Amino acid sequence: MSLEILAVDDSRTMREMIRLALEPAGFTVHTADDGVHGVEVLEGKMPDAIITDINMPRMDGFEFISAVRTQEDHRATPILVLTTEAAPELKIRARTAGATGWIVKPFDPAKLIKALQMVAG
């Protein structure tokens, strides 16, 4: 089963780490360097899941999640937040915006793969 993922993170290193973790497991990974770029990349794409950071320039993760959820095609697309943040109030805010799950960096590649397969499979 090949899943298509959109990874949105302002860190090039983190985008590459996600790609290196997922591609060998058969995922197709598209990347965007912030929320504004993420919304642009989503046009015409139907990823099986989206991974987003919270702290990004131009449009943060909360705004990005809200923007994705306003689009008819992506209302049900699973969104995993991958961030260094662990505060409960931020998790609640992300879930309220429409996030499906929360993973704290640094991430375990096997756990990320398993989480994506659970939400998108």
Q: What is the pLDDT along the chain (121 residues), one digit of tens a residue?
A: 589 999 999 999 999 999 999 999 999 999 999 999 999 999 989 999 999 999 999 999 999 999 999 999 999 999 999 999 889 999 999 999 999 999 999 999 999 999 999 999 7
Select from 3.65.10.10, 3.40.50.2300, 3.10.129.10, 3.40.980.10 the CATH code of 4-120: 3.40.50.2300
Return phi, psi of residue 83, to 5°.
Answer: -150, 165
For the chain, what are the domain ranges? 4-120
The helix (run of H) or strand (run of E) holding residue 26 is none
